[in-house]
Amino acid sequence: MKNVVVGFDFSSGSAYAVDLAIDIANRWQTDIRLVYVKEKDEDEKPIRAEIEQRNAAVGHLLHGIKLEYVIREGNPADQLVAQAEEDDARLLIVGTHGMSGMKKNMLGRNSYKTIERSPVPVLVVREDFNFNKNLETIVVPIDSSDDTRQKVGVAATFAKTFGSTLHLVGLYTSSVGDVRRIVDGYLNMVARYLDKAEVKYQIEKLDVEKNVTLTTLDYANKVHADMIAIMTEQESNLTSLILGTYAQQMLNLSTIPVLSVRPTQVVTDTASY
């Protein structure tokens, strides 16, 4: 089906996720599926009535696409992942104050489980992000891990869709020459791929002083990034292991939308390089 699946629960965070989904789906010319996960004894009738009212209110924003919804029951993360699998979705969008009752700067357990298990890339958005500006700048951290380049194809698709510039951030986690040469080699490969794809980019190389998460976020905030593309796992060091996984740290700390790709995912937009 290749649609866009959105987790929705009437919170402001999930409402922002729907707004962003409409913008993306209009550009991709693909349909949207809203997913509401109800509790066992929750009455469906008022849920359906409100969702249908909300969908009707944004109908004029849909340009040649459909906005449909489904109500599921069970664990929110499991149900979102199941719907994405059933729909063969192209993207899953989750609002950080939706689906799991998030507190500020703290990613809810269900939302992290969603990105950890999702068969498709997941875009996590926070309700306090400024969505009135265009998606102009996408930060793509590149380290020495084997899977670090897998996210580039998905990020490049967004860049071409929105006319964005990719900021390739080479992260040196060691002073060892071989490690640094691996990062340089990956940056060169990605640059060749983006040249061929005619995607705008620029390269920045940074030594990691604290950990990869904080280094990436510092740079993203400096360039006023509109999105950060990551793998669910990234190269780690001792500090990262103490504070939690890279993806957990990024999603807990970032006020910028985070696009997460699992290393095991087959990213059809990515060429071999």
Non-local CB neighbours of 178 within 8 Å, separated by 6+ positions: none
> How high is the pLDDT of residue 9?
87
Query: How much is the mean pLDDT over the chain?
Result: 85
Q: Locate the domains of the chain by residue range.
A: 4-125, 137-261
pLDDT tens digits in sequence order for the chain, 273 residues long: 689 999 998 887 788 889 999 999 999 999 999 999 998 889 999 999 999 999 999 999 999 999 999 999 999 999 999 999 999 999 999 987 544 444 433 345 566 788 888 989 999 988 777 666 789 999 999 999 888 899 999 999 999 999 999 999 999 998 999 999 999 999 999 999 999 999 999 999 999 987 889 999 999 999 999 999 998 765 554 444 333 477 778 888 888 999 999 886 444 444 444
Residue 30 in contact with residue 67, Cβ under 8 Å?
no
What pTM was estimated for this model as a whole? 0.87
133-176, pLDDT tens digit by residue?
789 999 999 999 888 899 999 999 999 999 999 999 999 998 99
**Within this chain, domains 4-125 and 137-261 share the same CATH topology:** yes
Q: Is 3.20.20.10 the CATH number for 137-261?
A: no
Task: Give the bridge partners for 72, in sequence order.
Answer: 37
Query: How far is it, in rounded angstroms, from Cα 169 to Cα 162?
Result: 20
Q: Right CATH number for 4-125 from 3.40.50.620, 1.10.246.90, 3.30.1490.20, 3.10.450.50? A: 3.40.50.620
pLDDT score of 255: 87
Pairwise CA distance, residues 22 & 25, whole Å: 5
